[in-house]
Amino acid sequence: MKRVILAILALCALCSCGKWTETKSVDVVVDHPWDQNSALWEEYLQNLVAYKASSHYIFYALYENNPASATSEASRMRSLPDSLDFVALTNADNFSEFDAEDMEWMNSIGTKVLYRIDLDSFADASSLSTYLDKVIASVADNGLAGYALAGTYILGDETVAAKASTAVSKLAAAKKSGQYLTFEGNPSYFQASDRASVDYFILDTWEATNVLEAYLTVKDAENNAGVAANKILLASALGSTITDETNSKVDAPETLCDKVVAFGPLAGFALDSVASDYYHADGTYTVTRSLIHLLNP
């Protein structure tokens, strides 16, 4: 008898539990800042655009844009910190409908979105040239603000030299007023006559092991490649470390961001792996925003 009663109680509990765990859709009303106070929001946008047009240290971010579907706000450009000056899309070949939706927002806040091109992924200048025709069309169709090149310099390599010449000549000619051409790597990748066509050089300090190495990279760009300090950006990746002057392991992004002034002053700072900061425990893009504030308090 006890077994029968227990079985009935268990069945009732299961039924009760089923009611509580039944999935129901809930309408969520999102109260955006511009809905709360449109006049205040308009003033904020005007101040933001004015700030980006003013003289300040540039903050440049590498961002893997949306491949096919938006799984969360971390995969939407619209959720990036508003104060970013440049965003180089590392998945620009797969520019999606979600990316296209976000472009209106990016343009409204004055953030310049660039089509990033990895020159190392091309075997020769011919294949690169064909590809660049598609890139130029995509930049025009999607309203991007220009091009971000990345490549590894190899002294005396004729293939590298040919790719460098092809990239600069085609993109400099295609670049419209208000658009930009940047390069991530050693400025010596390009011939001296072509370096003037590049607006900013993001130096290869992503994996610098110590501060002295980063400093020497800057001096090499200035003294050997003839690049002006106001065209140079230091670079680092979220979560990386570097050895400072006291031989201590410290946070690389914060340390190199601080060196933008000490080493120059230089043009600014570039941050890789920026999307991984989205789920930071203290808030969305907390570290990225703190670095922007460090550069431009």
Query: What tokens does 138 get?
Result: 């995509």
pLDDT digits (tens, 9 = 90+) for 150-188: 999 999 999 999 999 999 999 999 999 999 999 999 999
Collapse the DSSP code of 77 into the 3-class scheme (helix H, G, I; strand E, B; otherwise coil) and give the result: helix
Q: Domain map of the chain by residue range?
A: 56-295
Query: 118 pLDDT band (50/70/90 cuts)?
Result: very high
Supply the pLDDT for residue 49. 85
- Buried b or exposed e, range 227-245, using 16+ CB within 10 angstroms: beeebbbbbbbbebebbbe
Quick check: 31 pLDDT over 70? Answer: no
Query: What tokens does 154 get?
Result: 């190899």
Query: What tokens does 236 get?
Result: 């680092």
Other beta carbons within 10 Å of 157: 13
Collapse the DSSP code of 61 into the 3-class scheme (helix H, G, I; strand E, B; otherwise coil) and give the result: strand
Gap between the Cα atoms of 148 and 259, Å rounded: 23
Share above pLDDT 90 across residues of the chain, in percent, rounded to a whole number: 75
Supply the pLDDT for residue 281. 83
On whether the CB atoms of residues 60 and 200 are closer than 8 A, the answer is yes
* Residue 43 burial (10 A CB sphere; 0-12, 13-18, 19+): exposed
Supply the pLDDT for residue 22. 63
pLDDT digits (tens, 9 = 90+) for 243-294: 999 999 999 999 999 999 999 999 999 999 898 899 888 888 999 999 999 9
Residue 42 to residues 32, 36, 38, 108: CA-CA distances in angstroms? 13, 12, 6, 11
Query: 36 pLDDT band (50/70/90 cuts)?
Result: confident
β-bridge mates for residue 271, sequence order: 61, 236
Helix then strand count (H, E) for the chain reads: 10, 10
Which amino acid, 58? I
Radius of gyration of the CA atoms of the chain, in A: 24
Supply the pLDDT for residue 1. 47
Query: 21 pLDDT band (50/70/90 cuts)?
Result: low
CA 36 to chain centroid, in Å, comes to: 30
pLDDT digits (tens, 9 = 90+) for 54-112: 999 999 999 999 777 767 788 889 999 999 999 999 999 999 999 999 999 999 999 99
DSSP E strand boundaries for 178-267: 180-184, 200-202, 232-237, 241-243, 249-251
Gap between the Cα atoms of 61 and 53, Å rounded: 18
Degrees, nearest 5: CA angle 288-291-98: 25
Query: What tokens does 60 get?
Result: 């440049």
Gap between the Cα atoms of 257 and 292, Å rounded: 9
Query: 202 pLDDT band (50/70/90 cuts)?
Result: very high
Name the DSSP class of 75: G
Average pLDDT, the chain: 90
**CATH code, residues 56-295:** 3.20.20.80
Collapse the DSSP code of 247 into the 3-class scheme (helix H, G, I; strand E, B; otherwise coil) and give the result: coil
What's the predicted TM-score (pTM) here? 0.87
Name the DSSP class of 159: H
Share above pLDDT 70 across residues of the chain, in percent, rounded to a whole number: 87
Residue 157 to residues 14, 151, 199: CA-CA distances in angstroms? 72, 13, 24
Supply the pLDDT for residue 29. 54
Q: Which helix (H) or strand (E) segment is 272 a member of? A: strand 268-272
Query: What tokens does 271 get?
Result: 């941050």
